[in-house]
Each structure stands twice: as C-alpha cells, then as structure tokens.
Amino acid sequence: MADALDYQTLYEQTLLSLQQTQNAQQAAQAKINQLEEQLALTIFELNKARRKLFGHTSDNRHAKATTAPNQLELFDLGVSQEDLLAIGEQTQEEVKQAQAEPLPKGNPKATRKKRENNKRMVFPTDLPRVEVVLHPHPNIEELQQQGYSQIGQEVTEVLEITPATFFVKRIIRTKWALKSAVIKETHPDDTLPPGVIMAPIPSRTVAKGLLGGSLLAHLIISKYTDHLPLHRQIKIFERSSIRLAASTLSDNVAAVCRLLEPLYNCLKREVLKNLYLQADETGPADQIVHLRSIRVLDSEKKGASHSGFFWTYHAPTSKLVLFDYQKGRGQEGPKEILKDFEGVLQTDGYQVYGKLFEDSSTVTLAACMAHVRRKFDEAESLT
C-alpha cells in the first residue's frame, strides 16, 4: 500500500510557493513604479532641454504686461547731482592724463622686421583725395596787407574711411612769411608772430598716426561689435589695395582703448553710485546646454584659451549697464566691483551673491520674481 499523502507538508509547500509568487509580483511592481518615475523625470528633463533650445526663455505671456513707467520714482534710487558733478570732474582729470601720457608702442619683447628703409607708408595714388586747406589766419587779404606772402605749404595725409570706401584726407597747411622789406615796428597792433607762420595741425585720436578717427572707429566697431578679428579686416583692406601691418592695427586699437578707459571708469562710477542694481553673469545656461560661456585666447600662453565671463550690472533708474570681464565665474569679480556699493542688489539664485552679501550691513539682496514665475510656467506647461 502506498504511503499516505502528507497533506500538512503539501499545504505548507503550497503556501510557501504562493508567498514567493506574491513577493515576486510586488518586487516586479516596485521595479515598474521606479522605472515609470525615472521615465517621467527623463521626459520632464527632455522637455525642459527642448524649451531651452527651441522655446522662448521669457515667461511673459502677455506682450502688454510691462512695468509701470513711474514705478522706480517711488524711491530715490538714482545718482545724486553732487555725485554726478564729482564723477564728471574726476573723468575730466583722467582724460587729461590719458592725453598727456605717451601712447603705447606695442610689446617691446615681440620681434618685428624693420620697415624697409624706415620709410613712411605711401598711400595708393588712385585713392580719392579730400583736401582740407588751413591758413594761419581766417582772412588771407589781411595777411597780404600786413606784408605776408605764401612761401609754400606742408601736406599731411591721413587715411580715412567711409562704409566700403577708402579715401585719403590731405591736410594742407599753408606757410606764410613777412616780406623782407616789412619791419615789425610798422605794425604795432599786429598780433601775428614775425617770420614764417602756419596753422597748427588738427589734433588726432592717435598722435602722429596714419589712421584717422573714422577708420579707428570702424576698426573698433568691427572688432568688438561685429566680432571681426583684425587679421580678417586686413584681408578686407587688401581687396581695396590698402595694406596695413597687423602691428599697426593692433597698436592703434590699443591706443583707442586706452583713450576710452576714462569713459569706462566714468560709467562704472555712475552705475555703482545708484542705490538699486541688477546683476547677472554669462555662465552656462544649465547643466545640459552650455551656450553663454565665451572662449577667449590666452595672452599668457600661445595657442591656449580659457572660458571668459561677462558680469553685467544694470542700473534701472539710470538705464545704464556696466560690463566687467572676468576669467572665471567665482566671487572674485562681484566682490571687487561691488566692494563700495551700498543699496539693493537684485540677482537670480546663484549662490555667489548669497555668500558675499547675505550678512552684509550695506547691501540688501533682492530675489528675482521672474525666475520664480518661470519655474511655475515650466511646470504648468509640462504637466
């Protein structure tokens, strides 16, 4: 007779099998829930990245929803008249110093080939000439009546430019001299000096430079506004038979930047005298898309480059913007610029501002509601 079935053991085995099956189902369901959460988060991040790449970054859904024009007049947040006068006087002194100091002659360590025979550059003869004749006295007939006669002229040529057209401005200064028979005592009321006289040469942006103000302005705007490097501008000039050395252009650009420095300092002082500023920096847009960092050639190491950053400081009351270039995105930049600032500083949530001014007794940090609303806007559109 076969052994009787052990129902107790069979029952226990069945229960254990059911329990294992139930545990496996629960584990599978937990894994499914985890994957669904990861998928939802991935889709959220993907849609966020798509919005950054292809969508509008502004959360203003109503074009007419602008700030009230008189809102900033509720508080005295601008620059006082006394500060403006002091800034103007300081800027005038800096301009005088900049004009009095000799202009830089380039890098003395750089090796340059000597110009052939050390001759001054001669402009192409087929370029149109615009002559400006300057006399030492506005009334030529009065000069002749006093005994002066023209004995020659001195010509100075300066290269100028109009859009897509080069021309040479010829500054002709006539020379005048008293006739030998005329004696100074016969003209006691004459204020003109004896001997040879000539009108003074007009001042130029770069002293004794070959490039006129219009061409210098063209170089600066093309380089810094149109992002056109000097070597490309040289190629453009060559198509018009104008051949300028790279050292000549770089030295002139450096000279212009040096002359503009007092204006930058004036802007800086006026912006920082405001009691309300908005600050931001050109850093990576987020961890996915790096759009706003600037690659800059390193002057200390040939062929190398680094990530440059522009820190911007906006004074809404004065409607002025100050740009400050820094090699990094750390706190060194705003710490130096805002060391003497007193007032309200409005920024985004970048932690650098909090570390610098969270416990400051002179700077009050204000958050940006636009950044807060933007998150709600993004969350609403992704639901």
The pLDDT assigned to 322 comes to 95
The pLDDT assigned to 110 comes to 47
Indicate the length of the chain as a whole number.
Answer: 383
The pLDDT assigned to 373 comes to 77
Q: Are strands 294-297 and 197-198 parallel, antiparallel or unpaired?
A: unpaired
What is the H or E stretch that residue 252 is in?
helix 246-272
Give me the chain's average pLDDT, please: 82
| Residues with Cβ within 8 Å of residue 166, at least 6 apart in sequence | 127, 159, 160, 237, 240, 242
Residue 39 has pLDDT above 50, yes or no: yes
378 against 301, higher pLDDT: 301
SS3 category, 272: helix
The pLDDT assigned to 160 comes to 92
Residue 111 has pLDDT above 60, yes or no: no
At CA 25, angle to CA 20 and CA 30, rounded to 5? 125
377 against 86, higher pLDDT: 86
Most confident of 70-74, 139-143, 294-298: 139-143
Percentage of the chain beyond pLDDT 70 is 81
The pLDDT assigned to 97 comes to 81
Residue 78 has pLDDT above 60, yes or no: yes
Give the torsion sign (CA, 228, 230, 232, 235): positive
Residue 33 has pLDDT above 50, yes or no: yes
The pLDDT assigned to 295 comes to 79
| Residues 150, 184 contacting (CB under 8 angstroms) | no
Residue 272 has pLDDT above 80, yes or no: yes
Indicate the DSSP class of residue 258: H
Residue 264 has pLDDT above 50, yes or no: yes
Mean pLDDT of 199-214: 88
Quick one: the chain helix, strand, coil %, rounded to 5?
A: 40, 20, 40
- Per-residue pLDDT tens digits for 233-260: 999 999 988 999 999 999 999 999 999 9
Least confident of 206-210, 241-245, 322-326: 206-210
Mean pLDDT of 34-55: 84
Angle at which helices 7-54 and 369-382 pack, to 10 degrees?
A: 130
Tokens of 169: 């401005």
The pLDDT assigned to 282 comes to 77
Q: Return d(Cα 345, Cα 272) in angstroms, integer.
A: 11
Band (pLDDT 50/70/90 cuts) for residue 294 is confident
The pLDDT assigned to 290 comes to 44
Band (pLDDT 50/70/90 cuts) for residue 218 is very high
Q: Return d(Cα 154, Cα 151) in angstroms, integer.
A: 10
Q: What are the φ and ψ backbone dihedral angles of 317, each rounded to 5 degrees?
A: -65, -45
Q: Return d(Cα 219, Cα 249) in angstroms, integer.
A: 8
86 against 163, higher pLDDT: 86
| Residues with Cβ within 8 Å of residue 110, at least 6 apart in sequence | 247
DSSP string of 173-224?
EEEEEE-TT--GGG-TT--SPSS-EEPPPPP-SSTT-SB-HHHHHHHHHHHH
What are the structural domains, with CATH classification, of the chain?
Answer: 80-102+209-261 (no CATH), 121-202 (no CATH), 274-382 (3.30.420.10)
Q: Return d(Cα 247, Cα 230) in angstroms, integer.
A: 10
Q: What are the φ and ψ backbone dihedral angles of 329, each rounded to 5 degrees?
A: -110, 20
Nearest alpha-carbon partner for 226 in 212, 211, 236: 236
Characterise 277 by phi-psi region: left (phi > 0), alpha (psi -120 to 50), beta (else).
beta
Mean pLDDT of 363-371: 85
Q: Which long-range contacts (CB under 8 A, 24 or more apart) does 318-321 make?
A: 318/78, 318/79, 318/270, 318/271, 318/274, 320/267, 320/270, 320/271, 321/271
Residues forming beta bridges with residue 178, ordered by sequence position: 148
| Residues with Cβ within 8 Å of residue 152, at least 6 apart in sequence | 174, 175
Considering only CA atoms, give the Rg of the chain: 36
- Per-residue pLDDT tens digits for 133-149: 999 988 989 888 888 99
The CA-atom distances, in angstroms, between 119 and each of 112, 114, 209, 211, 270 are 15, 10, 14, 16, 46
